[in-house]
Amino acid sequence: MREAFGAVFDVEPGYLNTASIGVPPRHVADAVAAAHVRWRRGQDTSSAFTEAVETSRAGFGKLVGVPATSVACGATVSQFVSLVAQALPAGSKVFVSPGEFTSVSLPFVAAGHEIVSTVDECDLVAVSVVQSADGAVADLEALRESGKPVLLDVSQAAGWMPLSLAWADFVVGVAYKWLMSPRGAAWMAVRPDRTDFLRPVAANWYSTGENYGTELLLRPDARRFDLSPTWISHVGAAVALPWVASLDLDAVRAHCVGLTDRLLSRLGLPPTGSAIVSVAAPAVEGVVSSVRAGRTRFACHMYNTIEDVDRVLEALT
């Protein structure tokens, strides 16, 4: 058991793999467990989950700095990126960071767009705020000043990094990493002036409010891009996201980056300012991590401690 930022975690020592799967605090896991109990007893109806979906929607909006009406609920980042990719004119030029995660890059390739190497020559920038493989942090101010339309993936940033992204055209992110919720929930913030740019290609009962018929009566805001929600995933997210959004995220960032800085400095490497780092070292016994691009990746979240980092250092040094 560990206590961090007012919550209790049952995570075991040496878990440095939040960049793959986040570990929930007890109060989030308990809410999901209770939902499973209700499910097995037949105590819910579909409308019973509406409050959880709307709460998680508002929580994501608060984390990225937009109102709930600008947020669509879905299941994966690639689903939302594909909406943007399919809306771009044929043959558009898209800049993605070298080594970008495929859920961001491949929807544009599949749509037939050209991937270019500089922001200056592109029609759209599509990048992760924090890169999955090595934790590199995007220069958001430079992107904002570029004047280019921007799609940002916050999957490896929201939850440990303070964000204010109302200026971006599109912001996507998932629940199951740094937001410590069950897999199956994702969100996209759409700047209001960009709503009409996208086509609701997966229109359904949740995005229209109509259960039957052939008349397309879309909701007036970003909810028109909703997928029918993965209910129990949103039960967890409805507890986790408002709690994370209520924290001092500057303090969370300082905690997480302080741990990665300790790891890097003891290995003779410069700090990166990121909660994710990768090193040219083998996997460490007794530490849960991942290998990405031939390097071992470590991710430090709010539930990690100096002892977790020192396990790595003792093995490597």
Domain shared by 87 and 137, yes or no = yes
Residue 281 neighbours by CB distance under 10 Å: 14
**Which of 217, 246, 275 is where one domain is finished?**
246
Domain shared by 90 and 41, yes or no = yes
Residue 271 pLDDT > 90: yes
* pLDDT digits 0-9 by tens, 28-62: 999 999 999 999 999 999 899 999 999 999 999 99
Domain shared by 311 and 181, yes or no = no
Domain shared by 85 and 73, yes or no = yes
Domain shared by 196 and 261, yes or no = no
Domain shared by 240 and 261, yes or no = no
* 3-state SS string for 72-139: EEECCHHHHHHHHHHHCCCCCEEECCCCCCHHHHHHHHHCCCEEECCCCCCCEEEEECECCCCCCECC
What's the whole-number average pLDDT of the chain?
96
Domain shared by 186 and 95, yes or no = yes
- Assess contact for 186 and 53: CB atoms under 8 A: no
Domain that holds residue 160: 29-246
Predicted confidence at residue 233, as pLDDT, reads 98
Domain shared by 233 and 288, yes or no = no
* pLDDT digits 0-9 by tens, 71-99: 999 999 999 999 999 999 999 999 999 99
Counting the structural domains of the chain, the total is 2
Question: 213 exposed, middle or buried (CB, 10 Å; 0-12, 13-18, 19+)?
Answer: exposed
Predicted confidence at residue 294, as pLDDT, reads 87
**Which of 246, 275, 294 is where one domain is finished?**
246
**Which of 223, 246, 269 is where one domain is finished?**
246
d(CA 132, CA 260): 15
Task: CATH number of the domain at 184, please.
Answer: 3.40.640.10
Least Cα distance to 111 among 77, 134, 88 occurs for 88
Domain shared by 165 and 55, yes or no = yes
Predicted confidence at residue 284, as pLDDT, reads 87
Which distant-in-sequence residues (6+ apart) come within 8 Å of 219 by Cβ?
A: 207, 208, 209, 226
pTM > 0.85? yes
Question: 229 exposed, middle or buried (CB, 10 Å; 0-12, 13-18, 19+)?
Answer: buried
Task: CATH number of the domain at 11, please.
Answer: 3.90.1150.10
What is the average pLDDT across 228-249? Answer: 97
Q: How confident is the model at residue 265 (pLDDT cuts 50, 70, 90)?
A: very high
* pLDDT digits 0-9 by tens, 174-196: 999 999 999 999 999 999 999 99
Domain shared by 254 and 132, yes or no = no
Domain shared by 287 and 241, yes or no = no
- C-alpha Rg value of the chain to the nearest Å: 20
Domain shared by 124 and 211, yes or no = yes
